[in-house]
A and B are shown apart, each in its own frame.
Chain A
Amino acid sequence: MTNIDHLNPPTGHMADNVVGFARALRAAGIPVGPGAVIDALNALQAIEIGHRADVYATLEAIFVKRHEHMLIFAQAFDLFFRAAEDWKHMLDSVPLPDHAKKKPPPASRRVQEALAQPSMRDEAHEVQEQELRLSVSDKEILQKKDFAQMSAAEIAEVTRAIANMKLPQAELRTRRYQPDAKGLKLDMRRTLRSSLRTGGEIIDIRKLGLIEKPAPIVALLDISGSMSEYTRLFLHFLHAITDARKRVSVFLFGTRLTNVTRALRARDPDEALASCSSSVEDWAGGTRIATSLHSFNKLWGRRVLGQGAIVLLISDGLEREADAKLAFEMDRLHRSCRRLIWLNPLLRYSAFEAKAQGIKMMLPHVDEFRPVHNLSSMEGLIAALSAPPPPHHMSRIRSAA
């Protein structure tokens, strides 16, 4: 067995090609660090590179760290190394593909807008004017105003208010311990250590208490056409809570389900929303709630609903193909989470009645039914989450209009 020289990885064409391949992967969206390239070169020394499948498995094990990236890797590998007819010389003969044509990332809209400002003086004037318009009484109006009827300036104001919202922690006890003077469990290790100061005589007893952690939150947001006036603000809301706490998962659905949790992790709300919308294919299209819930239950339910998750289902429930399937999927979702809260902007109408077939099917399976169409109803939601959760599976319908 030859020894791998970790400090002096091989150089030459093979190294160039592996580096080129890593750059191709990076351009295709797989995060590949320089450490992985050195690993790959070392690994290729350890196997016989005459075997295409082995080289494939080797590079895959090093460059791919997520199941989702496997398909991209497979395509990139085929494209990059397809020219090699004689596999034995594959790593030495393939020319480096050209990756220099990468476009610079487009500047964010705010930067562009900022640069397009006519002059600083005008801008200052405008801001002052806007502040004057939003006096105290206006703020009260803003609280009650429907999101769908707001002007751009009002939306900007609401966005700022949303960014300041603090979601209650809704803490759950875990099964781990931490030092806690009022805890119930004896901390023998720390007690003994402190006893050594007094020659082994135990004078003060140290204790442990259970660690409390915020409950996971899973949001399922309907982005179909009928919801389009609300989705952007809801996304701001979800971005604000994703920023403030761990364990928040966000899914968008119209005709299909998209996981945007990672996209929303970006610090800047504009950047987060932009990467969110680029990952979704069915903005403002139709709704297929049952199908979307089915794929959530099947692919994600067991993965994100553990440890007592609270589910926020944000949808108007207007589904044309409402049938037994919808009730079945709602029931399953309800049974796999701690608390299912349905937020429906249609509840803003005082004369709202659950007449639509889809709404009738979904209602029996939710713990709470609340409106979300203005700032005060959003604040109401936060207050409701701070209260102790209602007994599970009671299916109490509360309509707080």
Chain B
Amino acid sequence: MSASALPKSVDGMLELLTSRGYLAERSLATVAYLSLRMGRPLFLEGEAGVGKTEIAKVLSAALGRKLIRLQCYEGLDVASAVYEWSSAAQMIAIRLAEAAGDTDREQLSSDIFAERFLIKRPLLQALEPDVAGAPVLLIDELDRADEAFEAYLLEILSDFQVTIPEFGTIKAPQPPIVIITSNRTREIHDALKRRCLYHWVDYPEAERELAIVKSRVPDISAKLSQQVVRFVQALRDQDFYKSPGVAETIDWATALTELDARSLTPQMVGDTLGALLKYQDDIARMQGDTLQKVLKEATSD
């Protein structure tokens, strides 16, 4: 992995993403470029499976930066997101000091709260200098963490520093490239959004989705890829609880290629529908007439 320079224009950003197989809309490339230029976190919202997380991975690979990922969940706290003290190592240090007859309390307390006893979690790691340049920090599915954690993040994202009571303040020499994603299982507070550049990632249009399928599943035949994309696009018009995302399209195309499919047949679609739809209610709705209709639309020339 070698570090490469930041893109100098929106077109440069588009090229950079395309070179890693991420076919982005121009608007997404624009905000990504701006977030690098302005040093602002990029806040991406959209349905699951439209490529929000992927862009962080692609950026880190294309820029040759380290990717640090913080997966959010409901019980996330400072100890697992930022830092923790290694108590076991500290205890040993205390015992050793005791055995050596060292009784200076001041000395002891500064010794055992030293950096070597600090366990760094993702957010602290992201503030550390790196030879390849500041890392890409991906804060994934922020909507899953609770509001208390969101408030904590506010401080880190505005000043890029963390204060540890026993140790002092750690400030990033160069702020990381921050990408925050949310599936909107709840609204994120405006105070946090205000510090970020906001972008809604939508399902791609048919043409772009076709290009994505072709680049991700190179073995797929031209005819099948076209039918797959048409079928998925038609499904998104249906009233489902969870419409298939791009990730599902790629999964399905891969599954069909693995099964040596040349074109879509009712049997083939019925057997593999689980790659696209993830709710039993949705699958049940797709039986019979609806399936026939969508399939007919997708396979007609």
Residues of A within 8 A of B (CB): 1, 4, 31, 33, 35-36, 39, 42-43, 46-48, 51, 53-54, 56-58, 60-62, 64-67, 70, 174-177, 188-189, 191-193, 195-197, 199-200, 246, 297-298, 302-304, 306-307, 332
Contacts and interface: CB of A to CB of B under 8 A. Distances in A.
Contact of B200 (A39, A67, A200, A303): A67
A43 B40 CA distance: 11
Contacts of B90: 192
5 contacts: A36-B194, A61-B31, A177-B77, A192-B91, A200-B97
Nearest to A195: B94
Contact of B198 (A47, A65, A191, A306): A65
Task: List the 6 shortest-distance A-B pairs measured between CB atoms, nearest first.
Answer: A175-B75, A188-B87, A200-B94, A57-B27, A57-B30, A65-B193
A48 B27 CA distance: 14
A332 B281 contact: yes
B26 A1 contact: no
Contact of B105 (A176, A197, A302): A197
A280 to B, nearest CB: 20
A302 B185 contact: yes
B271 to A, nearest CB: 26
Contacts of A297: 241
Interface of B: 8-10, 26-28, 30-31, 33-34, 37-38, 40, 45, 74-75, 77, 84-85, 87, 90-91, 94-95, 97-98, 103, 105, 108-109, 112, 146-148, 166, 184-187, 190, 193-194, 197-200, 239, 241, 281
Contacts of A48: 9-10
B241 A298 contact: yes
A56 B166 CA distance: 47
Contacts of A70: 200
Contacts of A54: 10, 26, 30
A58 B105 contact: no
B38 A43 contact: yes
Given A33-B194, A58-B31, A307-B74, 9 more contacts: A39-B38, A43-B37, A57-B30, A61-B30, A67-B200, A176-B146, A177-B77, A188-B85, A200-B97
A246 B150 CA distance: 15
B124 to A, nearest CB: 15
B75 A176 contact: yes
Contacts of A36: 194
A4 B37 contact: yes
B38 A4 contact: yes
A35 B194 contact: yes
A174 B147 CA distance: 12
B74 A174 contact: yes
Nearest to B165: A193
Contacts of B95: 200
Contacts of A302: 185
B190 A31 contact: yes
Nearest to A262: B187
A31 B281 CA distance: 39
A82 B26 CA distance: 21
A303 B90 CA distance: 43
A47 B200 contact: no
Contacts of B37: 4, 43, 46
Nearest to B95: A200
A143 to B, nearest CB: 37
A57 B112 CA distance: 51
A47 B34 contact: yes
